[in-house]
Amino acid sequence: MNLQQKQDLFMASISHELRTPLTSILGYGELLNNTHLDSKQQEYLKRMLHSSKYLLSLVGDFLDIVKFQNNEIDLDLKEIRLHTVLSECAEIIKTNLHKDIKFETDIPFLNYTILADDRRIKQVMLNLLSNAAKFTKSGTIKFYVKDIIELDNETKLTVNIEDSGMGMSEEIQKALFNPFVTGDSTQGFGLGLYISQEIIRLMKGEIKVTSQEGKGSTFSVTFLVNKIKNKNISQILFKKNILMFSNQSVFNQNITNALKTFNSTLQCYSPNQNIASSFRTIFASTLEYHIAVFDMNHVNYDVAPMISTLKMLHPSIKCIALLKQYSSVRTSYFDKIVQTPISVENLMYEFEELSAIDNNLKKNNQYIDFSHLHVLIVEDVEMSRDYIKEMFSISFSIECDTAVNGKDAIEKVKQTNYDIIFMDVRMPILNGLKATKEIRKFNQNVPIICMSADVHDKDIHAAKDAGMNSFIQKPLDKGEIIECLLSLIPQGTAYTVSHTVSLKEIAHKYLAQNFNEETILLLLEKSSQSIALYIGNIKEHSKTNNYQSLADDFHAFKGLLGNLGLTDEAKTTSELQHTFEDEDSSYDVEEKVTSFLEKMEIFLNDIT
């Protein structure tokens, strides 16, 4: 073994040794985060998690450096949409910015998809954006696509990250892309920019910097991506029926025109029209609806009953909310939130994406019942094993079996018919690769997922060669596990159990701001008595059309729901209270009351 090989082996084992305990720290930290902590404890935990994630990124950086020096890095090319990747970067960085900083983005849609490594593009952009954030105390950070040059099969993109921060001297600028140089010697190793530059070089591009001390810096990232042509929107949007609740008539007309080319139809309902009659028309229609768009900037009624009825009548319908700001409306009913203003073209792309993606369950709080799955976790480190078991139990309601090494695993697989196995690689007695080879001798079908902190390409190949089906990296990402589990659930049945965040969860979280678990339970119990009483009263008074009493009932309900943090429901009760106070039976309130009572009965059932 020569020196270089020894060094590689050393780096590989260092990374493994560091990642394993980090998995436990981050994992248990996340679990702790979901328990009831007071604000001080939450703050401490946030800092611990932040530092742990930073440490993890450093380990990742070191590994990247070794890989670059050995020319071991390959781009993992996938069909992606430029807009999606860059928007995700913008979203991530937005939540981490100081509130005095203005963040401006301009990310255009390309009317084709590209072939590129989204993970690496994100790594570079996030690195540059977080640098901008770090060195800008106030002012503006701009993140925008500066140039798009169309070549035959490729597109040359230039993305700028511009800040009004402290800037850099020319000396620092010159040395910036060397490893171990930073603008601020007190922070970090300065590996990020070096790695970013190397990644962009792999994409046949470069990162340039212009900067003036005290004025700010601009990083300009130019790189080439492959175009994927013949991406045909019309196929996906062909003969789709779309509902739209919006009063921007010109906008609607433009969408209608755009949709005509696909033989699709758009039915528009103004939010000012009589809601009940619009609903009746829609519910009575024999058309199959595929997409419903709610312009939440103009809709001021509760859309939840509408959406749930639509989803019942048209199980595959996708609901989009158009919204100026992300936070002002509860968004869990919607399949997608689209920020306005939006161009017709971009909205068409949103339609296309929604129609194309059927498994975007992760994003929309959809809940799938995984609890029937038999899962085996093979992991030798006790702490990690306990954590994974706990995480599966909490996140997926799966009670896993565990095995402590490869030999143990083989015994368990012989005895039980598992749906999926998550297998560590490095284990005493019998390692994961050898164990997989043994298992494949008598069971070719059970999916075996490799969990490893070793992320060199050769490790991934070794796992595949041994007969493993796929590879997930430690620390485990819940999203990746969901994808593994989703693949086990037959298409179409995935939606069978779907719900949004329950009222109990919202109320619990709200009360947890001030109270310990014991008090919360007491309060929920008290509230259940009140709710049961009010539901009874409302039913009683509905029978006799006693409007004044109903107004009182809903008034009392409003106070209670508000105190449980259920603001949307409190709003509904408030509307109903006023309806009854005005003795306004001009539109069908019965339906609204029924749907509200159903919701409350479910909630009551949950908390009793």
DSSP state for residue 26 in the 8-state scheme? H
Interaction between residue 546 and other proteins (CB under 8 A): no
Task: Quote the least distance from Cβ 577 to other proteins, whole Å.
Answer: 9
Binding segment toward other proteins, per CB under 8 A, in 382-390, 473-481, 492-500, 548-556: 548-556
H-run or E-run covering 365: none
Given candidates 338, 523, 538, 593, which one binds other proteins under the rule CB under 8 A?
523
Binding segment toward other proteins, per CB under 8 A, in 83-91, 224-232, 321-329, 552-560: 552-560
Interaction between residue 552 and other proteins (CB under 8 A): yes
Q: Which two tokens stand for residue 450?
A: 């490799």
- DSSP string for residues in 229-241: ----HHHHHTT-E
For the beta carbon of residue 432, count every other beta carbon within 10 angstroms. 28
Task: Quote the least distance from Cβ 507 to other proteins, whole Å.
Answer: 11
Binding segment toward other proteins, per CB under 8 A, in 104-112, 311-319, 449-457, 558-566: 558-566
Task: Quote the least distance from Cβ 566 to other proteins, whole Å.
Answer: 9
Given candidates 51, 178, 493, 519, which one binds other proteins under the rule CB under 8 A?
519
Report the SS3 class of residue 210.
Answer: strand
Task: Quote the least distance from Cβ 332 to other proteins, whole Å.
Answer: 20
β-strands 216-228, 154-163: how paired? antiparallel
CA distance 207 to 225: 15
Q: Which two tokens stand for residue 289?
A: 């609806």
Interaction between residue 556 and other proteins (CB under 8 A): yes
Interaction between residue 570 and other proteins (CB under 8 A): yes
Binding segment toward other proteins, per CB under 8 A, in 78-86, 334-342, 392-400, 521-529: 521-529
Interaction between residue 287 and other proteins (CB under 8 A): no
Given candidates 189, 515, 547, 587, which one binds other proteins under the rule CB under 8 A?
515
Interaction between residue 467 and other proteins (CB under 8 A): no
CA distance 295 to 319: 11
Q: Report yes or no: 527 and 607 within 8 Å, Cβ to Cβ.
A: yes
Interaction between residue 558 and other proteins (CB under 8 A): yes
**Residue 463 Cα distances to 6, 424, 427, angstroms:** 22, 10, 14
Q: How crowded is the C-beta side of 540, counted as CA atoms within 13 Å?
A: 10
Q: Which is nearer to other proteins, 386 or 552 (CB)?
A: 552
Task: Quote the least distance from Cβ 527 to other proteins, whole Å.
Answer: 4
Q: Which is nearer to other proteins, 281 or 605 (CB)?
A: 605
Of 510, 577, 516, the closest CA to residue 547 belongs to: 577
CA distance 81 to 345: 15
Report the SS3 class of residue 371.
Answer: coil
Interaction between residue 555 and other proteins (CB under 8 A): yes
b/e string for 169-178 if b means 16 or more Cβ within 10 A?
eeebbeebbe
Interaction between residue 28 and other proteins (CB under 8 A): no
Residues within the interface to other proteins (CB under 8 A)? 514-515, 519, 522-523, 526-527, 529-530, 552, 555-556, 558-560, 562-565, 570
